[in-house]
């Protein structure tokens, strides 16, 4: 990979050890994937924040770095609500380590927004055509597919390296030719909002790391697309998909998958909730204001009888403290900075009901729990045990 004179100096360690390490990661990646050069990024989203996922070794690696990020950089969810962790049942040892991790990132200049939906709270981080270095798979999918920005799915270290250098190697989804659809998906069902998670769950398994091009009967809204992309990135590793008529065409002769009501119904039945559900969690990816408003409306005048969590970004909860108040009056809890997948708070339960195709895919593997699926309304009903 070609390096400019300035990049070469950083690579040789003439700008300090941290920049040298960062350049080493970027150059190694660029060489593996055949990048021709580094390109500037508008923003970085750094995964690898929860102490549950990165552990002691991760904390050490971040704490050893010095210097400052040179582009806007934000954190993915941590393993707990950074202020109300006691209410989540998090123990002090975990909390101490988690706060150290966030502090280590903060010292480097990474903003502790702790969300997988930075685009919901800081739209200036990603605009159409921007190159980014984002990590969390649902955020990557949303950035590429809905915003029209360009990012590969970065690991935590490569994202942090990109933030310190302000650049990323040019390969993969940064290159136009790699952004061509590989498979058509004709959806012959009238989708409700809660179907998009299931649809993504099904299609991710089918297409793996392909680039699906959907043909819908009706244009999905932005929360539908968030749910769809998140699920495909979890059950498969889809980082880019298309959903509108202006999308580039898949090459002639490309495979086509038909999805019917029956296909969606089968998964719904398989994943229907039962009495074993002992916790209900909404907000994977993090809830938008509109989703908070829906939960608040559904909970009005009700009390929860099973644990109900709603995960969102702190900035969203602060902006809509009215909705948070309404939700929490029912006994449900709005947790910020974290989620049901990356927090050890989930460990004490047996079966979690979710409204997310992504969580449906990850809860059994990453949390070793059973999972059930339903719409937001069905989730609220299960938590309040209304029929
Ligand atoms: C579970 C996930 O959404 C977030 C956890 O990643 P991490 O702990 O931030 O590395 C992973 C992903 O899909 O990118
Ligand atoms: S809420 Fe879901 S999408 Fe967001 S970090 Fe957690 S697992 Fe990933």
| Structural domain boundaries, residue 304 | 270-384
As for how many domains the chain has, the answer is 3
Is the whole model's pTM more than 0.90, yes or no? yes
- CA 266 from centre of chain: 26
| Residue 249 predicted with pLDDT over 90 | no
4, two tokens: 């400019």
Q: Is 253 left (phi over 0), alpha (psi -120 to 50) or beta?
A: left
CB of 342 within 6 A of ligand 1: the answer is yes
Task: Tally the C-alpha atoms within 13 A of residue 369's C-alpha that lie toward its C-beta.
Answer: 28
Atom 4, ligand 1: residue with shortest CA distance: 136
- My answer on whether 227 and 336 are in the same domain is no
- My answer on whether 146 and 44 are in the same domain is yes
CA angle 123, 48, 98 (to 5 degrees): 105
Q: What is the pLDDT of residue 98?
A: 98
Determine, yes or no, domain membership for 34. Answer: yes
ipTM of the complex in this document? 0.96
383, two tokens: 């938590």
Determine the residue of 44, 45, 46, 47 to mutate for testing ligand 1's pocket, defined as the one with the most ligand atoms within 8 A of the Cβ atom. Answer: 47
- My answer on whether 27 and 116 are in the same domain is yes
What atom in ligand 1 is closest to the CA of residue 362? 1
- My answer on whether 88 and 37 are in the same domain is yes
Q: How far is the CA of 289 from the centre of ligand 1 (A)?
A: 22
pLDDT per position as a tens digit, 77-124: 999 999 999 999 999 999 999 999 999 999 999 999 999 999 999 999
- My answer on whether 195 and 55 are in the same domain is no
Atom 13, ligand 1: residue with shortest CA distance: 137
Confidence class for position 386, pLDDT limits 50, 70, 90: low
- My answer on whether 345 and 236 are in the same domain is no
- My answer on whether 144 and 118 are in the same domain is yes
Determine, yes or no, domain membership for 27. Answer: yes
Specify the CATH number for the domain of residue 322: 3.30.499.10
- My answer on whether 74 and 139 are in the same domain is yes
CB of 342 within 6 A of ligand 2: the answer is yes
Determine, yes or no, domain membership for 265. Answer: no
- My answer on whether 198 and 147 are in the same domain is no
- My answer on whether 126 and 159 are in the same domain is yes
């Amino acid at each position: 990979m070609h390096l400019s004179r300035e990049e070469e100096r950083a690579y040789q360690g003439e700008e300090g050890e941290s920049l040298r390490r960062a350049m080493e990661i970027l150059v190694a990646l660029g060489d593996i994937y055949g990048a021709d050069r580094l390109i500037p990024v508008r923003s970085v989203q750094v995964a690898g924040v929860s102490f549950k996922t990165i552990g002691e070794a991760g904390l050490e690696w971040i704490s050893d770095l010095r210097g400052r990020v040179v582009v806007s950089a934000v954190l993915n969810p941590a393993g707990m609500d950074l202020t109300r962790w006691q209410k989540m049942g998090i123990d002090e040892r975990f909390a101490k380590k988690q706060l150290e991790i966030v502090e280590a990132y903060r010292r480097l200049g990474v903003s502790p927004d702790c969300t997988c939906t930075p685009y919901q709270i800081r739209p200036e981080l990603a605009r159409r055509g921007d190159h980014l270095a984002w990590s969390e798979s649902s955020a990557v999918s949303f950035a590429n597919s809905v915003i029209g920005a360009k990012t590969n799915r970065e690991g935590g270290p490569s994202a942090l390296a990109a933030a310190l250098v302000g650049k990323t190697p040019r390969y993969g989804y940064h290159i136009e030719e790699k952004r061509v659809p590989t498979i058509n998906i004709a959806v012959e069902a009238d989708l409700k909002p809660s179907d998009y998670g299931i649809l993504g769950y099904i299609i991710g398994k089918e297409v793996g790391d392909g680039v699906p091009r959907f043909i819908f009967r009706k244009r999905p809204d932005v929360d539908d697309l968030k749910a769809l992309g998140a699920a495909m990135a979890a059950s498969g590793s889809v980082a880019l998909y298309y959903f509108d008529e202006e999308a580039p065409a898949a090459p002639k002769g490309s495979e086509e998958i038909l999805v019917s009501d029956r296909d969606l119904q089968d998964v719904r039945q398989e994943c229907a909730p039962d009495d074993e559900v002992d916790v209900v969690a909404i907000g994977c990816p993090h809830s938008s204001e509109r989703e908070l408003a829906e939960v608040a409306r559904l909970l009005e005048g009700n009390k929860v009888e099973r644990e109900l969590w709603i995960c969102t970004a702190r900035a969203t909860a602060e902006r809509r403290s009215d909705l948070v108040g309404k939700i929490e009056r029912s006994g449900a809890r709005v947790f910020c900075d974290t989620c049901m997948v990356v927090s050890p708070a989930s460990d004490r339960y047996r079966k979690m009901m979710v409204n997310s195709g992504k969580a449906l895919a990850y809860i059994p593997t990453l949390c070793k729990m059973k999972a059930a699926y339903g719409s937001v309304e069905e989730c609220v009903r299960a938590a309040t045990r209304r029929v």
